[in-house]
Structure 1
Amino acid sequence: MSGGDATPEAAEEGRRPLRTDLRPIVEAVREADAVAFVAVGDRFDDDLRYLTRFSGPDRPYALVVVPDEPVGRAVLCAPALFREQAEREFVAAARASAGEATADSTDDADTGYHDGVAREVRTESVGDHAGERAAAVVDDLVDGASAAAEGDGPTVLAPASIPHDAAVYLERAGNDLASTDAVTDARTRKTPAEVDRLRRVQRAAVAGMARAEAVLAESGVTDTADEKSKGDRRPPLRWADEPLTTERLRREVNQVLAARGVRDAGNTVIGAGPSAADLHYVGDDPIRPGETVLLDISPRGPDGYYGDVTRTFVVDGDGGWERRAYVAVEAAREAALDEIEPGVPAKTVHGEAAAELAAYGFDPNAGEGEAGFTHGTGHGVGVSLHEGPSLSGAGELRPGHVVTVEPGVYDPEIGGVRLEDLIVVTDEGYEILAEYPFGIVPEKRPNAR
């Protein structure tokens, strides 16, 4: 069920600017009998980044979407200094290309936008709060007489994460706010262009993994037979004439990521020995022979999309706990992948992985800090590193879902083993976005520099 290179159609999509179909937002407004949808945030707000494809600034701005004929209308309230960028990323990038069919193509109406939702940028009243500007746009675009029952304010939909102060401005303007999951739902299913971005970042993550594995393969064991027999923790590995630590290895990985045009975003997690049982370890530990080295690499690409890959290695191991754990996690990964296809309940994937780990004697329901499987089997990845769907949550898998498959087992006193790949659900099953070999003993791979 695993696939290879992108199709020509996907490659063509990948050359176009990313753009978001706003029709589900328009439809959510109509279904709720609301008058508008409003989102307020800054460049770090993933919902707003997804909706607008606008990548700045670091102070609040707003998006207003209203139903209109034939489809809808969207207004981005941007700072004046960012108008040119907003026009390019939000408006121009969403225009239909020559010969491209649009969502509203009719004999008498065609907005010229790929989804039929007309877009514009407004920069007036830039000194006002973004919520205040959004309220003014709603008032300008909406006919209040048709908004709601007499005596009630018009309903405006917003993500649950809308800032409190923005919500206050909208309510002071006479609007009734209602929360919507429309953005969350839309983000779960990726377009071919989004999958292309995710694949590119994942390939960079895999290149970083190859570099880390090569460093481990090149590292030397310095302890003597007497020291090895004592049972204490052994001296650290040595690489390039210095003791090897998780921070040194992290720097090697991050150099490769930077060379590939992606940012590590503080997400290069490397643990060794007991710290490998810490799911998010970014500290500095010696890397010792015989202990698990867990590498979880999750860079972010220039379009905001993440990669996510994990492997575990042991240099000069003795085939004890770490070998048994590795075999169990490999089996759990295969069991999880065997379940992935459209229509399968997401919880089924987690259940099969957990059952396989239990068959190998590991606690499939361990709590944080306990020995065993302490997390879900996978999560969605997109413009957020963790987004829907969850493989331990409700709902069924659908084509376009991009999720991690990452079973793992941990013992806080010994270490941890996790194996993780990023897959997209397809009509037939799934595709691994960037494959990487398995093996507990590190090797020098061909694509490692």
Structure 2
Amino acid sequence: MSGGDAAPGDGEGGPRPLRTDLRPVVEAVREADAAAFVAVGDRSDDDLRYLTRFSGPDRPYALVVAPSGGTTSDGDARDRAVLCAPALFCEQAEREFVAGARAPGGVAAADAEERFHDGVAREVRTEAVGGHAGERAAAVVEDLVDGAGAAAEGADPTVLAPASIPHDAAVYLERAGVDLASTDAVADARARKTPAEVDRLRRVQRAAVAGMARAEAVLAESEVDGGGSDSDRGGGEEAETDRRPPLRWKGEPLTTERLRREVNAVLAARGVRDAGNTVIGAGPSAADLHCVGDDPIRPGETVLLDVSPRGPDGYYGDVTRTFVVDGDGGWERRAYVAVEAARAAALDEIEPGVPAKTVHGEAAAELAAYGFDPNAGEGEAGFTHGTGHGVGVSLHEGPSLSGAGELRPGHAVTVEPGVYDPDIGGVRLEDLIVVTDDGYEILAEYPFGIVPEERSDADDV
């Protein structure tokens, strides 16, 4: 069920253009009998990034989407989307939000300015640049819904917004006579990826597995030190005296921070950012799901690497592997075999129409069969998290493999069972897959094996 190396849109013409279909938002407004939709945020707001494809400033700006039920001041009755951008970002906004959404080739030159791929006309407004983004959005709402039923009757217009809309923006909108109502339309749209979005995910996931290959090579090259000073063993603390000295690589003790730097250098060379998400734990810290500290890497202990970079279009990758150098085949081997089996059981369930919870349930049942607690709490020994989550312009988004709903084609999710013991370490194996019409595709495959190897084809991963 996994795909090959060729990615649609990866040819000489480059990746498919990213264009967000705003029709689901327009339809949500109509179904709610609302006047418009408003989103307010800055470039760190993933909903706004998704809706506009505008990688704007670090200060708030706004998007207003309104269906054609009303008439604007210029007499236009089309579905409209207006990006309220700071003046210094006008050209960028025109390029990314407006020009990027125009209909593809074949449109007559006279119509090129009016035709958009989803039929929703886009424009950028920079007037009143000194005002708060919420104020500017309210002014656009007033313009776009002028003449609509609610406004004509003197009632306050209802405007839909993501639940995450900033409080100050909500206050400005409400002071302007707008009633706000929350909508899940954006989250629902983000959950199902277009082919162009899958292209982006595939590209950044390839960079992530290249980083993993570098980490595995470093571990494979490392040497077991028969001696070691007290400082190598963590300052000679009594709790450390029975632990083996750290591995050595290029003549120096190998730590999680040294390994992280090697991974991040590969990510940078591949054109993606580590975004602070290169999580590496060793020994007991491998049981910490988000360890970004600096710990010695010792032989016989699990080394858990979770690499989640972000690409230039905002999409993430996510891959995890676990290795042990010079292990004794004890807890870590049993845990690895259990997690491999849980991963296989989870993947066997993935196809359109399957309840997401079924995937998690099968993984948990497999771990339980190997003697691990499938419902462990944080800090306890066993399986302490869900089997997977959606990935897109956020590292964690819908759908959740522990949540409600069914899997659908276009859902991009991780499959990442794991088991942990705070006193020993942790084992997790993770891949990023996309649900297809008849199953799933692993977006970038990477080999398995608890003993690290220096893979000769690492440059081609």
Q: TM-score range by the shorter chain?
A: over 0.9
- The residue that corresponds to 1:113 in the other structure is 116
CA contact 1:157–1:178 (8 Å) conserved in 2: yes
| CA deviation map 1:300-356 (0-9, x unaligned) | 000000000000000000000000000000000000000000000000000000000
User: How far apart are 1:152 and its partner, in Å?
Assistant: 3.1
3-state DSSP class of the match of 1:422? strand
- The residue that corresponds to 2:342 in the other structure is 332
- The residue that corresponds to 1:92 in the other structure is 99
Alignment of 1:335-350 (within 5 A): 335-350=345-360
What is the TM-score with the length of structure 2 in the denominator? 0.92
What is the TM-score with the length of structure 1 in the denominator? 0.94
Return the match for 1:122 from 122, 125, 128: 125
- The residue that corresponds to 2:248 in the other structure is 238
Alignment of 1:200-349 (within 5 A): 200-223=203-226, 232-349=242-359
Structure 1's consecutive aligned runs of 4 or more residues displaced over 6 angstroms after TM superposition are: none
Code of the residue aligned with 1:327 in structure 2: it is V
| CA deviation map 1:341-398 (0-9, x unaligned) | 0000000000000000000000000000000000000000000000000000000000
Question: Distance between the aligned counterparts of 2:222 and 2:107, measured in 1?
Answer: 55
Question: Distance between the aligned counterparts of 1:259 and 1:447, measured in 2?
Answer: 17
CA contact 1:236–1:244 (8 Å) conserved in 2: yes
CA contact 2:25–2:65 (8 Å) conserved in 1: yes
Code of the residue aligned with 1:29 in structure 2: it is V
Question: Distance between the aligned counterparts of 1:154 and 1:82, measured in 2?
Answer: 30
Question: Distance between the aligned counterparts of 1:288 and 1:109, measured in 2?
Answer: 62
Code of the residue aligned with 1:142 in structure 2: it is V
Q: 1:145 to 1:87 in 2, by over 3 A?
A: closer
- The residue that corresponds to 1:42 in the other structure is 42
Alignment of 1:124-203 (within 5 A): 124-147=127-150, 150=153, 152-203=155-206
Question: Distance between the aligned counterparts of 1:129 and 1:290, measured in 2?
Answer: 57
User: How far apart are 1:177 and its partner, in Å?
Assistant: 0.5
Alignment of 1:73-88 (within 5 A): 73-88=80-95
User: How far apart are 1:144 and its partner, in Å?
Assistant: 4.8
1:68 aligns to 2:79 (yes or no): no
- The residue that corresponds to 2:236 in the other structure is none
User: How far apart are 1:71 and its partner, in Å?
Assistant: 5.9
Question: Distance between the aligned counterparts of 1:321 and 1:149, measured in 2?
Answer: 71
Question: Distance between the aligned counterparts of 1:385 and 1:14, measured in 2?
Answer: 24
Q: 1:148 to 1:81 in 2, by over 3 A?
A: closer
Question: Distance between the aligned counterparts of 2:49 and 2:62, measured in 1?
Answer: 11
Q: Percent identity at matched positions?
A: 88
Code of the residue aligned with 1:258 in structure 2: it is A
User: How far apart are 1:6 and its partner, in Å?
Assistant: 4.0
3-state DSSP class of the match of 2:49? helix
Q: 1:441 to 1:84 in 2, by over 3 A?
A: same
CA contact 1:14–1:197 (8 Å) conserved in 2: no
- The residue that corresponds to 1:29 in the other structure is 29
More off after superposition, 333-342 vs 62-71: 62-71
CA contact 2:321–2:430 (8 Å) conserved in 1: yes
Question: Distance between the aligned counterparts of 1:447 and 1:150, measured in 2?
Answer: 69
Question: Distance between the aligned counterparts of 1:434 and 1:14, measured in 2?
Answer: 19
User: How far apart are 1:110 and its partner, in Å?
Assistant: 10
CA contact 1:25–1:37 (8 Å) conserved in 2: yes
User: How far apart are 1:100 and its partner, in Å?
Assistant: 7.2
3-state DSSP class of the match of 2:367? helix
User: How far apart are 1:143 and its partner, in Å?
Assistant: 2.4
Code of the residue aligned with 2:31 in structure 1: it is E
Question: Distance between the aligned counterparts of 2:23 and 2:48, measured in 1?
Answer: 15
Question: Distance between the aligned counterparts of 1:74 and 1:152, measured in 2?
Answer: 23
CA contact 2:103–2:112 (8 Å) conserved in 1: no
- The residue that corresponds to 1:367 in the other structure is 377
What is the root-mean-square deviation of aligned Cα atoms in Å? 2.0
User: How far apart are 1:145 and its partner, in Å?
Assistant: 4.8
Code of the residue aligned with 2:294 in structure 1: it is D
- The residue that corresponds to 2:230 in the other structure is none
User: How far apart are 1:68 and its partner, in Å?
Assistant: 1.9
Code of the residue aligned with 1:130 in structure 2: it is A
Structure 2 residue ranges without an equivalent (≥5): 70-76, 228-239
Question: Distance between the aligned counterparts of 2:182 and 2:112, measured in 1?
Answer: 32
Code of the residue aligned with 2:342 in structure 1: it is A
3-state DSSP class of the match of 2:441? strand
1:399 aligns to 2:409 (yes or no): yes
Code of the residue aligned with 2:313 in structure 1: it is D
CA contact 2:351–2:436 (8 Å) conserved in 1: yes
Question: Distance between the aligned counterparts of 1:12 and 1:398, measured in 2?
Answer: 31
User: How far apart are 1:42 and its partner, in Å?
Assistant: 0.2
User: How far apart are 1:147 and its partner, in Å?
Assistant: 2.3
- The residue that corresponds to 1:4 in the other structure is 4
| CA deviation map 1:266-302 (0-9, x unaligned) | 0000000000000000000000000000000000000
Q: 1:294 to 1:71 in 2, by over 3 A?
A: farther
Q: 1:252 to 1:7 in 2, by over 3 A?
A: closer
3-state DSSP class of the match of 1:251? helix
- The residue that corresponds to 1:433 in the other structure is 443
User: How far apart are 1:11 and its partner, in Å?
Assistant: 5.4
